[in-house]
Amino acid sequence: MGIGMGFAVAAAVESGKPVLAVEGDSAFGFSGMEVETICRYNLPVCIVVFNNNGIYKGTDVNPTGGSDPSPMVFVPDSRYDKMMEAFGGAGVNVTTPDELYRAVSAAMDSGRPTLINAVIDPNAGSESGNIGSLNPTSAVRKGPKT
């Protein structure tokens, strides 16, 4: 999680060619400030952030029932593209597959540091949000049986 920005910087420096980095909004949150590095060195990196307003589906409610938002929910309608603009790169906000296609094509052709904030429906997709279900269960129990 979150290593894509460092990999994108390395790929651009090493290859000298345009790089496309695809991130979720959660992964981008771990190392998104690398947009400053990308802009400082004017690297040909296009970052697409799939923004569904949070971790997994971004629709969770606070499990304690309190008024604070769930830790799985981010600030609604965040504009990650504005971060790239703040450092001198190009920022684009898209809401349809056609807009995304056009924005990625233009960014890759331009060779400029670009971040595309791709707004997606938090309720779309099939991610379970239960990655623990992929872990094998041990047949050995710890502690006394109850």
Mean pLDDT of 114-139: 71
Give the per-residue pLDDT at 109.
Answer: 97
The pLDDT, as a whole number, for residue 132 is 57
* Whether pLDDT at 3 is above 60: yes
Nearest to 91 by CA among 143, 136, 138, 48: 48
Q: Which of 108, 114, 112 is nearest to 81 (CA)?
A: 114
pLDDT for the residue 14:
97
Give the least confident one: 7-11, 19-23, 75-79: 75-79
Separation of alpha carbons 12 and 45, rounded Å? 7
Report the pLDDT value the prediction gives residue 134, as an integer from 0 to 100: 57
The DSSP-derived string for 51-67 is E-SBSTTS----TT--S
Q: Which residues contact 13 (CB under 8 A, 6 or more apart)?
A: 41, 43
Quick one: DSSP state of residue 1?
Answer: -
pTM, to two decimals:
0.81
